[in-house]
Structure 1
Amino acid sequence: MSAASLATRPAARILLVDGCNRVLLFRFTPPDRPPFWVTPGGAVDPGESYEQAAARELAEEVGLAIDCGPQVARREVEFLTLQGVQVLADERYFRIDIDTCVVDPAGHTDLERQVMREWRWFERAEIDRWAEPIYPADLVAMLDATDSSGPHDA
């Protein structure tokens, strides 16, 4: 299927970085493919801006009710949704630097509770050598490009 024939899926994703310079990732375990890790975030709801979606997703998935600030990155990528639909995702990224955070899964949807039961904070050096796929594939470069303190050693 060509990218031109795919449905576009607008999405807001969050680069949540703690005071130890680690990034929060969620492990997805869909029944139809191997597990993978992704940043918090998800689809933009009808009538919602990317900024509103980022704040909603952060509150639902992490339990943080804060402003996500401006978009810091954008990418388009084809992927298979958890519902089995091939889409062209228009992903907008928001970076949030916090001292510390404990994930509160109370806002997770039923589907998220089924496939997203694990999360952890990753050091940059762990990302490239992790045994399971991590998305976005260029996460370390994206973190470096959006870090106001400059690049870090991996």
Structure 2
Amino acid sequence: MIILPDPDPGPDSGGDGEAAGGSVPRPGARVVLVDAADRLLLFSSRNRDGTLRWYTPGGGLRPGESHRDAALRELHEETGLTEVALGPEVWRGRPWTTERDGVTYEVRQRYYLARVPVLEIDTTRMEDFERASVTGHRWWTARELAETADLLRPAGLPRLLAGLLADGPPRRPVLVDG
């Protein structure tokens, strides 16, 4: 497990310019949303080969938006939740690239922990492109995550969630793939 140094105390806006290899930077914020039953909320999308990929709520930062503000905005859009107490950044994703509409983006994600009561979520505020790509959502136990053959993001999610539930948030964000 790689623990990152203390985060930069400066503003954490999206930034601009070019990332490595001529790609466009795309900073992202995600929420590790855990309910009172210790279940994790994940959304699903289909991979090109038809298999399912599961991931936490979140998305890209808007210009001038902080990671924390983006995490709360995305959480509201994707789940209907407001007034969520966003906890610490627990994971930081290694950069990876993706292509959309002919543009290559370098994605750099931060993951924040939030605890909520057991509840149903409301996806009616999702943006059109999210509705087109999201195939479902569900609450997962650590055991269910460990038993699925579906692709989970970030990689190692069953182990990462089990560690959070057993030990609480790390002092500094843990570097993850995805």
Q: Aligning the two structures, in what range does the TM-score lie when normalised by the shorter sequence?
A: 0.7 to 0.9
Which amino acid in structure 2 is aligned with residue 72 of structure 1?
V
Most deviating of 98-107 and 49-58: 98-107
Question: 1-side partners of 2:135 and 2:127: how far apart?
Answer: 11
Given candidates 86, 89, 96, the residue that maps to 1:71 is: 89
Given candidates 146, 150, 167, the residue that maps to 1:132 is: 150
Most deviating of 60-69 and 47-56: 60-69
Residue by residue over 1:34-70, the C-alpha shift from the partner in whole angstroms, topping out at 9 and shown as x without a partner, is 3311110000111100000000001000111123233
Question: 2-side partners of 1:107 and 1:78: how far apart?
Answer: 28
Matching residue of 1:88: 106
Q: 1:99 to 1:67 in 2, by over 3 A?
A: closer
Which structure would you say has the larger Rg? 2
The sequence identity of aligned pairs, in percent, is 35
State TM-score, norm by structure 1.
Answer: 0.83
Unaligned runs of 5+ in 1: none
Question: 1-side partners of 2:114 and 2:99: how far apart?
Answer: 25
Q: 1:128 Cα deviation (Å)? A: 3.0
Q: Is residue 26 from structure 1 mapped to residue 43 from structure 2 by the alignment?
A: yes
Which amino acid in structure 1 is aligned with residue 140 of structure 2?
F
Q: 1:107 to 1:82 in 2, by over 3 A?
A: farther
State TM-score, norm by structure 2.
Answer: 0.73
Which amino acid in structure 2 is aligned with residue 61 of structure 1?
E
Given candidates 86, 106, 110, the residue that maps to 2:128 is: 110
Q: 1:28 Cα deviation (Å)? A: 1.1
Unaligned runs of 5+ in 2: 1-18, 169-178
Question: 2-side partners of 1:7 and 1:26: how far apart?
Answer: 25
CA contact (8 A) 2:96 2:108 kept: no
Question: 1-side partners of 2:164 and 2:139: how far apart?
Answer: 18
Question: 1-side partners of 2:27 and 2:163: how far apart?
Answer: 22
Question: 1-side partners of 2:102 and 2:109: how far apart?
Answer: 18
Matching residue of 1:141: 159
CA contact (8 A) 1:16 1:95 kept: yes
Q: 1:27 to 1:11 in 2, by over 3 A?
A: same
Q: 1:124 Cα deviation (Å)? A: 0.8
Q: 1:98 to 1:67 in 2, by over 3 A?
A: closer
RMSD: 2.2
Matching residue of 1:45: 62
- Secondary structure class of the residue paired with 1:107: coil
Residue by residue over 1:63-95, the C-alpha shift from the partner in whole angstroms, topping out at 9 and shown as x without a partner, is 111232332221223142565654322111111
Question: 1-side partners of 2:42 and 2:33: how far apart?
Answer: 9
Question: 2-side partners of 1:82 and 1:139: how far apart?
Answer: 25
Q: 1:98 Cα deviation (Å)? A: 1.5
